[in-house]
Structure 1
């Protein structure tokens, strides 16, 4: 990776590569990372790469494939497809914030657009991944920019911050934002779509805020006490184990006050925002006996083998950063004052995303 970073830094200083941001749904799992690609959908429209390099031609093709879509939506889809096929160049750089593991992935485009009819996201470009970074390593402004409400966009204001994660000495000659170009390419969608995307962005920003506070505002040991407190909010009695000799068990939780009656829950806490692997999970499993259960809590995500272990072990539960935030939000009114001070939140109502989603939307 060191060589790749050095070469990338040299490329940036010598060229005016563009830095693109792309969104893919959480359902794609880790496939883009494992198979080295980024892709977008609209499968019903077929292979649009043979169309004239004109947005109007893309609008007509998408209108025919999706006759129920509104004009504003078709305009945005056409701009996205046009950019993906005709404006992205081999050698351009891509930021892909993956929802599945809350990582920011940065790579280089290595192919023209390829159409794979059998894939749910058939329009694809091959990628050489150059780095994968937890979201908390970036400023909130940078995360807000890549939380753009459109599928494909050009990263401008915070481009240098992303590239510096690959090579701290690099500097990106990012062009000044061309507002007219951005509007013509993306344009306003219909009200339902804009509302839905604004809701998603608000939720994602809140998740980032909470996870950063838990990562930077607590020591490792304090985080164990926080997890114990969350278990108490859920109706358990919980105690934190001694700092040394815990055998991988940080918290012990139980329903009865004295902790004699099963089930007993043994908890391991990791205050990390990257991926926890199967070996750590197996270490925790090795501590449980009859009438005992294993709970692993982190601020990041879990590897595929770790998740497979969870599916095969009925006495194991893995809670990642996203799930921990959900538990916090559901039980925020029960939090001790010191934790509400650490996580100052105000309740608001947002649109119900699921209720506004329309069949067939990408």
Structure 2
């Protein structure tokens, strides 16, 4: 192998080498099937979680799970005694100081109506915040009521699944085993680089 340097006539030398050579820039095309596959995986995972919740987390078990999820999110929680809880299933605090967050959990299949949410508001005292968690959704009137009552937040099944995906690693081992997930990296479309 020989190495040499072209000192004189470098431009002529490069032109001679380039004759008949067309410059091509390798364009990296996005593989659309990767994006479609990634979307399919995400949707299948969300469907799996919601089905597991609906099948295995009814009544008090869902309350205990939501309390564990809130703990994974950094809240201190106390689950109310079964029966006679006056519509309050969990009491949560971010730290030792108020505000207190009163949580009501419903695992029934039908959509939550406005009256059910009003029962949570009736149990709240001044300075409290409310959180209503359901595996289903809210009726139109219930959604309007939540919009007009900013001290109560409603979480439906889809939003609950998103929270589970976000905080899964911080859940207790018991619930990680009941909703077994594995972290997987998938390619995403590149943003236009400028």
Please give the TM-score of this superposition, normalised by the length of structure 2. 0.76
Q: Describe the SS at the equivalent of 1:269.
A: strand
Q: Describe the SS at the equivalent of 2:102.
A: strand
The reply on whether 1:346 has 2:182 as its aligned counterpart is yes
- The answer on whether the counterparts of 2:111 and 2:137 sit within 8 Å (CA) in structure 1 is yes
Stretches of structure 1 that go unaligned for 5 or more consecutive residues are 1-189, 357-362
- The answer on whether the counterparts of 1:273 and 1:321 sit within 8 Å (CA) in structure 2 is no
The reply on whether 1:241 has 2:80 as its aligned counterpart is yes
- The answer on whether the counterparts of 2:62 and 2:105 sit within 8 Å (CA) in structure 1 is yes
Stretches of structure 2 that go unaligned for 5 or more consecutive residues are 1-28
How far 1:349 sits from its partner (Å)?
A: 1.9
Q: Distance in 1 between matches of 2:161 and 2:116?
A: 22
Aligned match for 2:70, one of 214, 217, 231: 231
How far 1:355 sits from its partner (Å)?
A: 5.3
Aligned match for 1:282, one of 118, 124, 128: 118
Following superposition of structure 1 onto structure 2, how do residues 93-112 of structure 1 map, counting pairs within 5 Å? Answer: none
Q: Distance in 2 between matches of 1:206 and 1:247?
A: 35
Q: Distance in 2 between matches of 1:317 and 1:353?
A: 33
The reply on whether 1:329 has 2:165 as its aligned counterpart is yes
What CA RMSD, in Å, does the superposition of the two structures yield over aligned residues? 2.2
How far 1:350 sits from its partner (Å)?
A: 2.7
- The answer on whether the counterparts of 2:30 and 2:189 sit within 8 Å (CA) in structure 1 is no
For the structure 1 residues 353 and 205, does the alpha-carbon distance in structure 2 shift closer, same or farther, using more than 3 Å as the test? farther
Q: Distance in 2 between matches of 1:354 and 1:232?
A: 35
Q: Describe the SS at the equivalent of 1:286.
A: helix
Please give the TM-score of this superposition, normalised by the length of structure 1. 0.42
User: Which segments of structure 1 move beyond 4 Å, counting only runs of 4 or more?
Assistant: 190-193, 353-356
- The answer on whether the counterparts of 1:249 and 1:267 sit within 8 Å (CA) in structure 2 is yes
Following superposition of structure 1 onto structure 2, how do residues 196-215 of structure 1 map, counting pairs within 5 Å? Answer: 196-215=35-54
Structure 2 partner of 1:320: 156
Aligned match for 2:146, one of 273, 296, 310: 310
Q: Distance in 2 between matches of 1:197 and 1:276?
A: 33
- The answer on whether the counterparts of 1:296 and 1:319 sit within 8 Å (CA) in structure 2 is yes
Following superposition of structure 1 onto structure 2, how do residues 1-362 of structure 1 map, counting pairs within 5 Å? Answer: 193-257=32-96, 261-352=97-188
Higher relative contact order (CA 8 A, sep 6+): 2
- The answer on whether the counterparts of 2:130 and 2:153 sit within 8 Å (CA) in structure 1 is yes
Q: 1:97-146 CA deviation, whole Å, 9 max, x = no partner?
A: xxxxxxxxxxxxxxxxxxxxxxxxxxxxxxxxxxxxxxxxxxxxxxxxxx
- The answer on whether the counterparts of 1:238 and 1:254 sit within 8 Å (CA) in structure 2 is yes
How far 1:195 sits from its partner (Å)?
A: 3.2
How far 1:311 sits from its partner (Å)?
A: 1.5
| Larger-Rg structure | 2
